[in-house]
Amino acid sequence: MAKKIFNLGLRKFVVESDSSNEVLDYIENRLAQLNNKYSYLSSIDERFLAIICEILEKEYGTKLTIEQLLKKLRNITTGGSSLEDRSI
């Protein structure tokens, strides 16, 4: 089990995870970037909410992209598309 300390503003959060250190390093770097981006917000609660909203917005966009790609893939595998529709 990997253990990492994340700094958000002046607060520290200890996270233990079954994820690899590589994943936790990515999370740490991404949190630092987002924390800097929203550093103008005065409270840590506001900053945390802004960070969560940005992450969820990106997740939603990724989900839509995956759904569109799966739909195209289903059409290709079932033969329900023309050659023009086969670009992914």
Helix, coil or strand: residue 7: strand
pLDDT at 75: 92
Task: Please name the residue that has the structure tokens 């390093």.
Answer: 25
pLDDT at 56: 95
Tokens read off for 59: 């997740």
CA-to-CA distance for 20 and 84, rounded, in angstroms?
41
Instruction: For residue range 25-65, list pLDDT tens digits in order.
Output: 999 999 999 999 999 998 888 998 999 999 999 999 999 99
Work out the number of other CB atoms within 10 angstroms of the CB of residue 51. 19
CA-to-CA distance for 50 and 37, rounded, in angstroms?
10
Amino acid making up residue 10:
L
pTM, full prediction: 0.70
